[in-house]
Structures are given as C-alpha cells and as structure tokens.
C-alpha cells in the first residue's frame, strides 16, 4: 500500500516549541522545537509506515493572501527568535531522513500540501494521503483518500468527523469559514455568526453565495441561532464573507515540480542523523541512529571500529600467588587507574566486589573479592590493606573515570587517596560543558570511537536485576578491565586536549583539588533529626486536608486536585477563568498558570481563591513527598547521616549540583520550606552548625566586570544595592525608596543576569507588562555600564563562539545575533549567565579548596558538610565556632580579587535554620 504523508512543518514546530519546556544543545542553542519535530517525525515513520513523505514549508515574505487582505495574519506575534533559529535545524533533520522540503514563492505550506494532496488523490500512485497539520483550512481537502493526522493524539480526522464537528461536507468548508472566520489567521468572517449558525445556514441554502442572496432579500427566517443581529450582519458584511472565503481557500494547482520517487521514505542517512543528534545533544536519538533502529528499513551507519588501539588484554588475579606477583608490579608504578566494582551506586553505602587496575595501555587486571558461590576470589581485607597502602602513598597518582565515586568508597573503607590525577569525566566537562553526558560510554564513543560492554548485559534490568557479586567473575572481569583500560587511555587523550585548549591549569588547580574536598563532604554526610521531619510531615498533612476541603467548597463539588482534566473543566468551563496557556491535551493548569491566576487582580477575588488553594496544595504536597517523607528513608544506617552526591559535571555554568537527595533545592521562599532546615543538625553533642554565605556575589561579579560607576560605588560604600538601584531608577532619595520599589529593583538586579524579559518581570511582580518594560528600559539607561558590558560580552561570544568565566572556564555558544535587540534569545541569556554565574562558581570552588586546606593544615576538627551554591555549611565544636568564622570569612572573601568588596555573612546555630 502506498501511503503519502504531507507535513505542515510550521504547524508542528509551533506546537512543540510551546509544548516542550526550553532545551539547549551542547553549545547553548535552543533545541526544544527541533527535538519535538524530530520525535514526531520518528513516530510518523515508525508507527504509520508511510511509503512517501514530503515536508511542506512556508515561502519567505508576504504571500498572495496579503494582497487580498492587508490584515491577513496581522494579529500574530512576531515569531520568537528562539524558534526561528531552530527552523534550519529541523529542515536539516528532514533532509537527513531523505525527505524533500518543498515550498513555493508567495504561497504558504497549506497551499503546498493542498496541491500535493490533490495531485496524489487524483493519481493511481497512492491509496492514502495524510496531512499532518492542525490547520482547520485543511479540512476542505478531505475526501475518500485524504485524511488529516494529529501528531498529539495519533488520530486521523476524516469526513465523518467533519460532519460531526461543523455539520458540512469538505466542499463547503470554505463557505463555512467565510461565515465564521478564523481568529488564528485574522480572517474576519461575519460578526456574530458562529459555527452553529453557519451550519444551519449552509444546510438550508447550500452555499455561501445563496446565503448572502437570501440575506439581502430578507428571506432568512428568525431562529434561536439566526437572530436579528446575525441576519443584519449577513447583509452589511457580505463582502467580508466573500473575502474571508477567498482567504480560506487553498491553492490546489501550484506548479510544483516533484517526482514522487524523490519522496520515498526509508532513505535516511543514519550517519548524518547521528552527527546531527550528537551535535544537538539528543543522546537517545543518536544511539538509535547508531544502532540502525532509527527508521525501519534504514541502512545502518557504518559500524565504528571496536577500538582505535587494539584489543584489551585482561587478567583475573584470583589466587594468593597471582596476587603477590601483581603487587610486585603494582609497587613499581607511580600512576595507576583503579576502578571499583561495588554493591551499590551510592558510594557511602557500597561494599567492594572487585578491583580493576590498569597502568599501561591495553592491559588491565581484575581482583575479585566477592562473587557467586564457588567462585575463586581473594581475601577482601588483605587486598584492601595492600592496595590501600599504595593508593594512599604520596608517590602514587590515582586516575579513573568519576574518580570521586571510588574515592568515597575507599574512604568508607578507611583509605584516603593521596594524589588525584586526571578524571576524564571532569576533564571532558571542561572541554565541552554543554554536552549532556560525560559518562564513560559517551567519552569512549566521542574520543576513541569505541563502544563499551553495557552493564545491562551483565546485571540485567528491572526486578530481575542482579547485584555485581552475583555476576560470574570472568564476565565481571572483562567488563571492569575494559572500563579501567579505557579510562586510562581517555586520561591521556583528555589531558592532551586540555593542554592544547589552555584548560589544563583550570583542571589541575581548581577542579582536581576540589575532588578530595567533595569526597570529604560526601563521606561525612549531614545529620538529620528524623522526629522533627515526622512532626513537620504531620502538620503538613493536616494543612493539605484543610486545603482540599477548601478547594471542594470553592468549586462547589468534590474533585481530584491532582487531575488536570478535572481542573480544566472547573477553571475554564464552569468558572470561566481565562485560558493562559495550552498544551496538547487542552488548556494548561501548570504551576505558572496557577500562579498567574492566583495573583491576577483583574479576576474576581472569590474566583482567584480556588487557584490560590490549589497552588498552595501543590507546593506543600511536593514539599512533603520530596523532603519530609523522603529524607528519613535516605538516612545511612551505618553513619546515621544523609550523604548527598555533589557533581562537578552537570551544570554547564560550572556550578556544583546535588543529587540523591538534592539538598541545594530545598525551598526557601515559603515558611514551610524554610522550616525543613530545622531538621539538619550537628552530628555530635556540643557542636554547632555554621553557615557562611556570599552576599549578592553574582551582582558583585557583574559590578567587577562592567565597572559601572554607580554599582561599584554602592558596593564600595556598603549600601543596600537594591535600595541604591531603586533610588537611581525612580529618581528618589534612598531614604524614600518604598518596599515595592526595592522589590522591583531587586528583581531586575538579578533578572539582568538571567536576561529577564518585561513579560517575565511583570509575571514575577504582578505588574503590567508595559510598566515592567519601562522599568527595564530605565534601568538600562541609568546603569549604562551594565548595558554596555552585556553588548560587549554578546559580541565577543558571537565572534569567538565561546563564553568565558573569570578563571577561563568556557562554554561553547551558538546563535548570538549580530545586533541583538529587544529581549535576549536563549543563547544570549545562556552566554551572559555563563560569564556571571560561572565566575561566581569559580570563586566559591576556590574558597572551598582554601577552607579545606586550612582545616587540614591546622588539624581543625570542623567539617565542611554542604555547598549550596553561594553558601557553605560546616559543623564545629561550639567553643571553636568564632575561630572558624574568622578563618572561613578570610578564605571566602579572599578567594578571588574583585574590584568591589566581597562580603561573607556568617551565622551559627543548633540547626541549619538557626544558623541561616
């Protein structure tokens, strides 16, 4: 069966751009629309199995319809810049799939697919034609062979559904639209004539011309839908109806030269697809293209060579004699790669199953200390003692992929690594901060063009997944030895690239010495007061029940507060609240929508109360589930503490991230969120927590870079920066700045760093958008040094393709416009944010290293426990708290020399809440 799919490209791109949250590629370019387009295209090809596909596009500039009606589509906003930059990428994807992209000068994609659908339906070439579009104009093309296809619902739309929706046949669709119009395209139609009236008129009179003739002759009888205003408007707006019909009529005979053979599906270039997907950071798509599973029948990409430097020789060391020989050779080495196989992905809870060791290219050893019953394994304590002595020697440098994990496991077993070498994961992150993955599989593919043994092939997945000690020793040895040997090779490759790209000092002097600091933090963990969490959970449970009852009362009936479908019905159908955003399933009720509905002063206070109650319920329910109920389950039975994991390779700006659990994300804007910090306490009696927090460090970094006289002076004089900015912008004395003015200034101060728009500011503060825009304009005029620095930064990034921090950290950025105007695009926001936030990240990392070094040198008992972006949390004996405060303040404020003072606020207390 020959089945032709015609794709309305802009229709798909607009849908997915607004439906999928913002995404960025490795170089900071927006990718959500091209990701969604690719996903839809893949699903069409895989699930619908078309024999032919054509990608239909708009032509540039005004088209023929604008000549007919100057205001055609005049109500549409300018295409978002972050969407416009993705169009060429989407077309590049289509071309890699071997699909023709067709447009015609002066005409829209609708006219292209109308022409092709009409031509295909009239030929014997095709049994079916499907048009992938959400445009209602396309309904005029429906017929025995032609249907519309909805990518969101995966359903077809045919003549029966048209009759049910509009009560007309396809040949009357344009007449119907001439009467009703189309607000999407600014087609006027006839005022007061809705779908029911239009259907009734066409059913009675047959055509639009007959309807208009009847109206002119007063032959339309009054009915419930054909009211007097409707009948009068049919007379006075007859010409509007005819123009509207013409605008809605698609051109079906454009001179498009297309050989159907050129549209045959199944000719994708898997190699090119893989290159595109890797460039855009679509890891799963890239893997599918590599494995030949991207499109059924698509030729596979040429398989990569298994390795670039021969096979790996591996040896199992599983007897005392073999172990003795191994140790003799090991003790001759001054650099080794050690990769541990363990029982748990959480290092603070992991026991060692085996040691993979490599010290020369292509050769690795596996020392099993646990395995299935009957396996030949070494004595774990003896191996730990001997290898621990080697790794803790100041004469040996240790390297491995994700070295921090192994170091935490070793620390848990009493071994402290003395010298850290190259961690390929961290080094690759410095080379390509925007890449989505810096895991060993990704690095082996990226730098060695090698595919590694998958862990799933050893331990399986899901409920049947094995523990590593249940895997046969030889299988475990082959897997582990390959990891160690590849990590060893990668360390050399990455080091060379770091040196070539002037990033070696950043790695060696900042990221490398930070690893043992993080090892110490993760090994120690932080104590939580479980009864306090349980008490707060009970309190929130009661409040959630109150909110649920209140929501039911406000809605006038019981309903599921977690059901978007029920919320849509209540909000928009029953209460008539305004629809602010749409998703593929209908009007959105997400957190942003709830917040806007809850704070929109134009909505009646009684109606606002329901979204307010639901918004509060959502926040508290998340708080309860994510922290109050989850944290007690994460307490390590051995230490009694929670051990979060800090990663150096997640945030592209250079910031550390926290996971399992994420302690950097505990909410502080609500009182209930702040209360959670009461559960974090010192691990010993007579100790206290100490918090040291940089004051407005990102704004100080901004002032340092831009040199704006007003900002620099305000910081040097120790003034309240938000009050100072408000005074300058509003033209009042600082003493006369109101709380509202300071709040606006604070939001804009930080918003500048993130490229906040007038829309974003108006939403955040609940003020009119024009007022927000005026304030931003005034801010830029007043603080011209900031505006100039933004322009200089964006121009440098556009010219070099790289955003740099104060210590030379880099992030590749594409998509900076030659002459940025209006709101920043995503790449522009990303570029500027990288410079400011990344420099602040450099600063606190330096501070952490300095503080840790001082504590070690002085043999101070204090322990660094957490880093929460600009804040460090310690535990310390109460009598030494003042001493620690002085040291920490010195090390943090002196970590980097800025042109403005670096201020550190320090507090102590029995809980994190009290110290903060």
Other CB atoms within 10 Å distance of the CB of residue 673: 17
Q: Give yes or no for residue 61 having a pLDDT over 60.
A: no
H helix or E strand, kind and range, residue 909: strand 904-909
Closest CA to 405 of 166, 647, 631: 647
- Tokens for 384, please give them: 């730990």
* Phi/psi at 649 (5° precision): -125, 25
Residue 212's pLDDT is 81
Q: What is d(CA 192, CA 226) in angstroms, rounded to the nearest whole number? A: 9
Sheet with strand 871-877: strands edge to edge: 863-868, 871-877, 687-694, 904-909
3-state helix, strand, coil in the chain (%, to 5): 55, 10, 35
Q: What are the tens digits of pLDDT across the range 654-669?
A: 999 999 999 998 888 8
Per-range mean pLDDT, top range of 202-206, 218-222, 253-257: 253-257
Distance CA 890, CA 903 (A): 10
**Omega before residue 666 within 30° of 0, cis:** no
Q: Is 401 helix (H, G, I), strand (E, B) or coil?
A: coil
Confidence class of residue 73 from pLDDT cuts 50, 70 and 90? low
Give the E-state strand segments of 9-98 in sequence order: 52-56
Confidence of residue 310 (pLDDT cuts 50, 70, 90): low
Residues 6+ apart with CB under 8 A from 213: none
Rounded to an integer, the average pLDDT of 126-133 is 93
Q: What is the pLDDT of residues 415-426, one digit of tens each?
A: 999 999 999 999
How large is the average pLDDT for residues 862-886? 97
Which band of pLDDT confidence, cut at 50, 70 and 90, is reported for residue 303? very low
d(CA 89, CA 279): 11
| pLDDT for residue 762 | 78
Lowest mean pLDDT among 442-446, 503-507, 745-749, 799-803: 745-749
Condensed to tens digits (0 to 9), the pLDDT of residues 685-732 reads 999 999 999 999 999 999 999 999 989 999 999 998 899 888 888 889
Mean pLDDT, range 393-405, rounded to an integer = 97
Q: Give the confidence band of 308 by pLDDT, cuts at 50, 70, 90.
A: very low
User: Is the predicted pLDDT of residue 489 greater than 80, yes or no?
Assistant: yes
What are the helix (H) ranges across 281-369? Answer: 283-290, 320-330
Is residue 673 pLDDT above 50, yes or no?
Answer: yes
Beta-bridge partners for 354? 341, 368
In angstroms, the Cα distances linking 272 to 86, 112, 158, 438 are 18, 27, 36, 22
Name the more confident of 19 and 385. Answer: 385
Using the predicted structure, report yes or no on whether residue 780 has a pLDDT greater than 90: no
Q: Which residues contact 542 (CB under 8 A, 6 or more apart)?
A: none
Predicted pLDDT at 294: 53
Answer yes or no: is pLDDT of 316 > 60. yes
Residue 152 near residue 15, CB atoms below 8 Å: yes
DSSP secondary-structure letter at 573? Answer: I
Span 539-572, pLDDT tens digits: 999 999 999 999 999 999 999 998 988 998 999 8
Q: How far is CA 206 from CA 69, 135, 597, in A?
A: 26, 24, 44
What H or E segment, with its residue span, contains residue 657?
A: strand 657-659
Q: Looking at per-residue confidence, does 370 or 604 come out higher?
A: 370
Q: What is the mean pLDDT of residues 353-379?
A: 95
Which of 176, 135, 161 has its CA nearest to residue 6? 135
- Determine the average pLDDT of the residues in 55-75: 61
Burial of 556 (0-12, 13-18, 19+ CB in 10 A): exposed
pLDDT band at 683 (very low <50, low <70, confident <90, very high): very high
Q: Greatest CA separation found in the chain?
A: 110
Q: Please give the span between the terminal C-alpha atoms of the chain, in angstroms, as a whole number.
A: 69
Strands (E), 436-542: 526-528
Per-residue pLDDT of 600-653, as tens digits, reads 777 888 888 999 999 999 999 999 999 999 999 999 999 999 999 999 999 999
Which pLDDT band holds residue 290 (cuts at 50, 70, 90)? Answer: confident
pLDDT reported for residue 226: 73
Edge to edge, the sheet with strand 101-102 lists: 101-102, 52-56, 3-8, 128-132, 146-150, 155-157
Is it the case that residue 75 has pLDDT exceeding 60?
no
Mean pLDDT of all residues in 12-39: 88
């Amino acid at each position: 069966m020959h089945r032709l799919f015609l794709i309305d490209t802009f229709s798909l791109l607009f849908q997915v751009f607004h439906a999928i949250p913002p995404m960025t590629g490795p170089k900071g370019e927006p990718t959500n629309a091209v990701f969604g387009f690719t996903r839809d295209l893949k699903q069409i090809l895989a699930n619908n199995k078309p024999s032919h596909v054509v990608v239909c596009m708009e032509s540039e500039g005004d088209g023929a319809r604008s000549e007919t009606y100057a205001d055609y589509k005049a109500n549409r906003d300018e295409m978002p810049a972050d969407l416009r930059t993705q169009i060429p990428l989407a077309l590049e994807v289509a071309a890699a799939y071997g699909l023709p992209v067709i447009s015609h000068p002066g005409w829209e994609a609708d006219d292209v697919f109308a022409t092709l659908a009409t031509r295909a339906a009239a030929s014997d070439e095709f049994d079916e034609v499907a048009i992938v579009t959400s445009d209602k104009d396309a309904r005029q093309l429906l017929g025995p062979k032609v249907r519309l296809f909805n990518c969101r619902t995966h359903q077809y739309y045919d003549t029966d559904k048209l009759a049910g929706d509009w009560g007309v046949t396809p040949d009357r669709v344009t007449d119907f639209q001439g009467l009703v119009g189309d607000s999407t395209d600014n087609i006027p139609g006839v005022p007061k004539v809705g779908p029911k009236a239009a259907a009734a008129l066409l059913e009675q009179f047959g055509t639009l011309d007959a309807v208009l003739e009847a109206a002119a002759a007063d032959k339309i009888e009054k009915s419930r839908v054909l009211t007097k205003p409707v009948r009068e408007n049919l007379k006075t707006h007859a010409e509007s109806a005819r123009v509207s019909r013409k605008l809605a009529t698609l051109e079906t005979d454009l001179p498009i030269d297309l050989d159907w053979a050129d549209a045959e599906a199944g000719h994708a270039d898997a190699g090119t697809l893989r290159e595109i997907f890797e460039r855009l950071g679509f890891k799963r798509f890239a893997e599918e293209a590599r494995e030949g599973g991207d499109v059924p029948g698509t030729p596979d990409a040429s398989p990569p060579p298994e390795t670039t430097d021969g096979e790996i020789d591996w040896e199992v060391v599983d007897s005392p004699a073999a172990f003795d020989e191994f140790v003799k050779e090991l003790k001759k080495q001054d650099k080794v790669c050690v990769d541990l196989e363990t029982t748990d992905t959480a290092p603070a809870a992991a026991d060692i199953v085996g040691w993979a060791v490599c010290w020369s290219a292509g050769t690795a050893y596996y020392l099993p200390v646990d395995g299935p019953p009957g396996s030949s394994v070494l004595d774990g304590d003896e191996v730990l003692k001997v290898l621990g002595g080697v790794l803790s020697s100041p004469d040996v440098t240790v390297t491995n992929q994700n070295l921090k994990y192994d170091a935490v496991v070793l620390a848990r077993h009493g071994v402290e690594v003395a010298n850290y070498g190259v961690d390929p994961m961290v080094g690759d992150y410095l080379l390509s901060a925007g890449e989505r993955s810096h895991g060993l599989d990704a690095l082996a593919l990226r730098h060695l063009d090698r595919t590694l043994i998958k862990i799933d092939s050893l331990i399986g997945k899901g409920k049947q997944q094995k523990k590593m000690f249940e895997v046969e020793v030889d299988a475990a040895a082959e897997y582990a030895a390959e990891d160690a040997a590849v990590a060893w090779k990668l360390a050399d490759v990455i080091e060379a690239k770091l040196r070539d790209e002037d990033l070696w000092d950043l790695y060696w002097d900042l990221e490398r010495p930070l690893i043992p600091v993080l090892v110490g933090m993760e090994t120690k963990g932080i104590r939580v007061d479980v009864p306090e969490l349980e008490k707060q959970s009970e309190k929130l449970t009661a409040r959630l029940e109150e909110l649920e009852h209140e929501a039911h009362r406000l809605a006038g009936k019981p309903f599921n507060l977690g059901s978007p479908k029920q919320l849509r019905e209540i909000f928009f159908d029953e209460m008539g609240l305004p629809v602010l955003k749409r998703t593929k399933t209908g009007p959105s009720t997400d957190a942003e929508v709830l917040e806007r509905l809850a704070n929109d002063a134009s909505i009646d206070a009684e109606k606002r109360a329901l979204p307010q109650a639901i918004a509060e319920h959502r926040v508290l329910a998340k708080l309860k589930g994510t922290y109050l109920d989850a944290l007690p389950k994460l307490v390590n039975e051995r230490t009694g503490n929670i051990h979060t994991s800090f990663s150096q390779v997640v945030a592209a700006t250079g910031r550390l991230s926290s996971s399992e659990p994420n302690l950097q994300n505990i909410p502080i804007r609500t009182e209930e969120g702040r209360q959670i910090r009461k559960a974090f306490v010192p691990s010993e009696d007579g100790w206290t927590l100490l918090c040291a927090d940089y004051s407005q460090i990102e704004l100080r970094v901004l002032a340092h870079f831009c040199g704006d006289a007003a900002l620099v002076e305000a910081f040097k004089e120790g003034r309240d920066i938000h009050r100072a900015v408000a005074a300058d912008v509003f033209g009042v004395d600082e003493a006369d700045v109101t709380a509202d003015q300071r709040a606006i200034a604070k939001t804009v101060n930080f918003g500048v760093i993130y490229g906040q728009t007038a829309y974003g500011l108006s939403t955040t503060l609940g003020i009119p958008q024009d007022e927000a825009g005026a304030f931003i304009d005034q801010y830029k005029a007043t603080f011209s040094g900031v505006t100039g620095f933004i322009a200089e930064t964006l121009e440098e990034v556009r010219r070099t393709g790289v955003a740099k921090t104060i210590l030379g950290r880099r992030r590749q950025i594409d998509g900076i416009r030659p002459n940025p105007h209006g709101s920043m695009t995503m790449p522009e926001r990303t570029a500027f944010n990288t410079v400011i936030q990344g420099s602040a990240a450099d600063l606190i990392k330096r501070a952490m290293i300095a503080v840790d070094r001082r504590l070690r040198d002085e043999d101070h008992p204090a322990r660094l426990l957490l880093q929460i972006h600009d804040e460090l949390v310690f535990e310390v004996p109460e009598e030494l708290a003042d001493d620690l405060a002085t040291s920490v303040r010195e090390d943090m404020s002196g970590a980097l020399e800025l042109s403005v003072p670096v201020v550190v606020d320090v507090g102590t207390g029995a809980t994190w809440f009290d110290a903060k």
